[in-house]
Structures are given as C-alpha cells and as structure tokens.
Structure 1
Amino acid sequence: MLITKKLACCIALAFSTLSINAQSFTIEEQRLDKATKVIPAITSALSDRVNLFIEQINKANNLTVLSQLSIRHGKGIWTDAKLYFKNTNHYDDRPLYWARLQMSKALKQTKAFKESLPDQQSKLLWQFEIYSRGQTDVKFDQYTTKRILVTGFDPFLLDRNIKQSNPSGVAAIVLDNLVISVEGQSAEIETLILPVRYADFDQGMVEELLTPYFRENPVDMIITTGMGRSKLRIRTFYRIKTKCTFT
C-alpha cells in the first residue's frame, strides 16, 4: 500500500501531540500495567513476538537497525494476530492491541531511540504503527473480479472497561486475505486497523488513507466498520464506473 508523504507528516505530527515528547509514554501505554494484571492471558497472547522484539531492539546500536527491526516485527505482529485467530478461533482483537503497545513502549526505552532526534523518533514510531496495523499489507494479488477494503478500529473506552474489545478490529483480523465467491464472481478482501485517537482524526488520517484507493487503485468497495454505542456500525463506499457512492 502507498503511504503518502502528506499522510506520514500528518500522523507524525499527530503522534507527537499525544505527549510532551516522543520518549514519554502515551495514555494507552500507561494502561499496560493495569491490563497485565486484569487480563494477563490477553496481554501475553502474542508474547513470543513481543519478547523477541524487545530482546533484539535492546541490542540495536543505531537508528537504522532499530528501523529494520520495527518494520520486521511490525509486519510480524500483524501476521501473528491473524494466526492467533486461526489457531485458537478466538474472535478477539485485544492481543494485537496490547502487544503493539508493549512493543512501542519498549521501543521508546532503547538506547538507540533515546539518542535519536525527535523527528526521527516520531517517524520510527509511526513506521511501526502502520506495519503493525496491516496498512502496508494491502496487496490485492488474488486476481479476483472484485476488490474490497475493510477497515476496523482499536478498542476504546478502556478507562471505563479495561477488558473492552472492538468488534470492528476483530472483523479486520478475521477477514484479511479472504476470498469469497458469489454467483460466479469472486472478491478478495484486504483489511487494516485504525487507531482511536482524536489527534489522528483531526489531522485527516482516514481521508488521507482511503482517498488513494478511490483515485489510484481499482478498489470496488471500501467498508469502514466501527463500534457504536449498542451495535457494530458499517459504512460502505462503492465505485460505479468512475464515481464513488456513499451508503
């Protein structure tokens, strides 16, 4: 998937506004201590990847190595989350969410990260974000007649309920790379997960992320899913010839 320069700049700015500086922990990362006590089985579900990542980044002696590890394990944790579902049949997005926070928190504590410039830190954190959310994994390479992009969101309202999941994130994990066939037509589904942070929304993250799929890529439908107050909310954008329609 193509990440535009404007999007990268917007998110880097949004990321930096979440805290006084990139080395301080975000509100989400600060919830880790409580989460590990209340839902230990969930926060440790992807611990193999998390522990390997922490071990390797603590040995990194420069920003280049740290960047390479962030990309490798960002991709890896997204894949691990999907494998976790396939192996356990647990419809749960929380292992990925809490694993990502453990990894980003550990990243900030490394020597190589602390010695980097603030702009470099923000870029590194955002790089890890997009890879771990499946945002670079959207490929559409199954040669189907239709292409569908589905987006989900992180859990939120965690101060009210630290056990909270988000069914839209579950949908993204479960449906990624799925090929379906209906009445002689096939469709490939690719997915990604978005954060629930007002700073990102205010910077136009969703618009910047989805617009290229309408303008540059032959995507037939984009389905945005989100957790409403009492049910899963779905919005669909679909293409008719050269026009995009919203329902």
Structure 2
Amino acid sequence: MNSDLALLRLLQLASPGLPVGGFTYSQGLEWAVEAGWVTDAKGFAAWQREQMHDTLGHLDWPLLARLYRACQEDDAEAFAHWSMFLLANRETAELRLEERQRGSALARLLDGWQLAQAPAWRASLELSQLGGMAWLGAHWSIPLRQLALGHGFAWLEGAVMAGVKLVPFGQQAAQTLLRDLGEALPAVLDHALALDDDQLGGGLPLLAIASSRHETQYTRLFRS
C-alpha cells in the first residue's frame, strides 16, 4: 500500500466517525467534574496530562507496539497474551467493559470487511479496540509511529470533546487544549516505545476512583 493510501486509512481509524462508540464514554471525567477535581480548562489539562504519561505512555502505546509486531509476525498467541494484559490493566469494571465494547464494535466492522476472521485471532480482537487498530495498521501497512500518534490524537480529541460537555469550556478552549496537549505526544511516544516488558502497566488512583464512582453517579451524560 502506498503512503498516501496508508495515510487515508490512518485518518479513517482515527476519525470520531469510526463506529466504536468512543464518544459515549468519559473515562472518569464525569465524576471528576462532579467531585470538583476538574473545574476549568487548566484543571482538565492537568487531568489529561497525567493520563497521557501514565496510561498512554506506559500501557496503551507500548501494548499497541507489541500487538502490531504480533500481527506482522502472524503470532496469534502473542497477540492474545498482550490483549489480555491490556484488559487486566483496566482498573475498574467500567473501564474493562468499555474496552470490550469498543473491541467488539471494531471486530464487527472487520467482519463486514471479511478481515481477521480466523479463529486464532477473532476472539482476541473482541477484547479491545487497540487490538483491532494494531491488526488493521499492520494489514494496511500504516507505520507504527504514525498509527500510534493517530490513536493518541483520537484519544485526546475524544477526551477534549467530553470536556466541552462536562467542565464545560468552549470550542476555542478545546482547540487550544488539542494544540497544547498534542505537542507532548511525540515525546511520550518515544518513551513508550523504549519500554521493556517489565516496565509496562499504568495506575492512577484518582482515575480508578472516578471511574468506580461514576457507576452510581445520580445524573450521567456518559455510559457507565
């Protein structure tokens, strides 16, 4: 696949129009706003920076790299291992359910394209959206670095759009946050890709508390 087509496929994977339901989750932000932990754009930026360095930098991106390499090497066993590792590191029932629901939605899309339906791969692909992105990235010859940055920007954009509804702040502030927070993504990615297996894993206590409390929050805009 030529580089132009690979870029177009990456934009498709990173698009908020990808039917995996990402816009329906706040990943703890809704409770954080309710509790007064996040009250303005500055507080939102600090909240997201912590997740960028911990979750994205020490879990999602290193695992994306391992899942991608497993696809390139046709190693379904390694792919299954890292898919389960990712799920095990989602700290709450809400986050694990989101991971599975996103994965199932993307797997159904793959079914519609008649891709990745071999039994050795299909069950693992249902576990996470990250696995489906890795599989399609390898299949479509999207370079790993570009795939990871596309995934990171999509994650950041989804969080900012949730912030617009919840904090709230306006579209000008939203675009400024995307610009400023996005500047840190390449350096975080460099660090993430250099990690060894025994350095993987995230842990943010306030995020876990916020996600757990969201389940019983009286009024919710986002799924729990």
TM-score (structure 2 length as normaliser): 0.30
From the two aligned structures, give the one with the greater helix fraction: 2
Q: Determine which structure has greater relative contact order: mean sequence separation of CA pairs < 8 Å that are 6+ residues apart, divided by chain length.
A: 2
